[in-house]
Amino acid sequence: MTQMKLFKYLKISALVAGLAVVPAQVVQAAVVTPNTNMGSAVVIQANTGQVLADQNGRERLPVASVSKLIVVYMLEQKIQNHELALDQKVKVPTDIAAFSQDASVANVPMTTNRTYTVSQILDATLIESSNAAAMELAHLVAGSQEDYYRQAETLLSSWGIKNPKMYSASGLRNGDLGTFEDNSVAPSAENKFSAREIALIAKHLVDDYPQILTYTQKKEADFPLPDGTNMTLKNTNLLLGNQKYQIDGLKTGLTPNNGSNLVTHGKLNQQPVITVVLNTNDHPRQEIFNQTLSVLDQVQNQTKTQTPQTDHTIKIDNAAGNHGQVALDTKDGQQYFTKRTDGEITVKAIMPKKNVAAPLQVHKVIASGKVAFDQKTDADFIDGKTPSVKLYPTKNVEKADIFTTLIQKVS
């Protein structure tokens, strides 16, 4: 091999080797790519997890008080397991009470000299976005802030969120935690999640504990102060009660350097949706609300909803008529989104249920299938799983006689 050929060979080999180690670029999907000047924006259908809009939805950004949704989820877990109760009275530890009275990082003062109900602490966390209240919830569910971080990370990992790192229950930066600061990490360390990850967290909260919306939709609530008087907690979500999208929560967040964040739950085309918009950056705080509505408007204007259709049949040996073939229907009415110009949504990969036999009523589940979209971008789901749908007979099916059944089995 000549020197020149050897040089070309080595150059090409190095290029191929380099290509082999370059990670594959993640393809942005979602039904719509919205136009927004925020750090990122994601809209999902709350019950199915279909990603309706995504603009930079995979980049991890500071989320500040949106972090409080995680400790709220863990509180609801404890309540469901009868380890805590909303009307249970609790005392706030000395260090958290002292933290709550530092006006530079806290806005709802608490004291060790009285008790609070868990419900009151939850109000302070979700309505006024109290940092100390979120820390008290972490203390209640895990026993300490450090144990809460590890348990929260384990929970998030179980949902498919890779390598989550928690630095505070409240969303504060490590250096703002006072006596709770972790000296082993930088003062600037803070909770960072992508808009998609926050949407997944919010979906789990609303799916598993829908009653939380009775708290997130409150505009005001009373909270007892150390001097015996009450303060009025005021919700920082200015979109609460929005009629167009029926917004009833969930959480705002304000970062020191990256501006505001907002997670909302509402309805679009009668479908429940969760919208996550992160980081206004240099834009005024009001933009987080304007841009949330703008993104929802774009989804509404560019999409349509459809119910999956199927013309499949399955064979049931003892079904009367049509050689044992039974026509299928979805019946549950669940709708999904597509672009206005896209085709139909169908059901594929039909799997009959075991041991199904006639007679059959129209409400009897006899098979299942996977939702299928003409366009791959429409088939983007927040947990990476394509939904299954239950399938029913289109009409009641009578039982065939023994002779017909035998013939259908042989055929």
Token pair, residue 383, equals 């947990």
Read off the DSSP letter of residue 29. -
163 to 26, 108, 183, 193: CA distances (angstroms): 18, 32, 21, 10
Stretch (H or E) spanning 276: strand 271-278
Q: Considering only CA atoms, which of 238, 159, 153 is closest in space to residue 192?
A: 153
Stretch (H or E) spanning 408: helix 402-410
Strands 250-255, 259-268: pairing kind: antiparallel
Write down the catalytic residue from 40, 65, 67, 130.
65
Beta-strand runs (E) in 36-110: 40-45, 51-55, 61-62, 89-91
Return d(Cα 125, Cα 72) in angstroms, integer: 8
137 to 140, 183, 188, 190, 206: CA distances (angstroms): 5, 23, 23, 19, 18
Known binding residues are 251
Read off the DSSP letter of residue 331. -
Active-site residue flag, 65: yes
Active-site residue flag, 388: no
Return d(Cα 130, Cα 136) in angstroms, integer: 10
Return d(Cα 135, Cα 125) in angstroms, integer: 9
Buried b (16+ CB within 10 A) or exposed e, 143-178: eebeebbebbbebbeeeebeebebbbbbbbbbbbbe
Q: Considering only CA atoms, which of 225, 296, 288, 299 is closest in space to residue 251?
A: 288
H helices present in 143-271, as ranges: 145-158, 195-208, 213-216
Write down the catalytic residue from 129, 170, 260, 294.
129
Write down the catalytic residue from 40, 67, 68, 130.
68
Read off the DSSP letter of residue 364. -
The most distant pair of C-alpha atoms in the chain lies apart, rounded to whole Å, by 92
Return d(Cα 150, Cα 360) in angstroms, integer: 50
Known binding residues for substrate are 251
Active site residues: 65, 68, 129
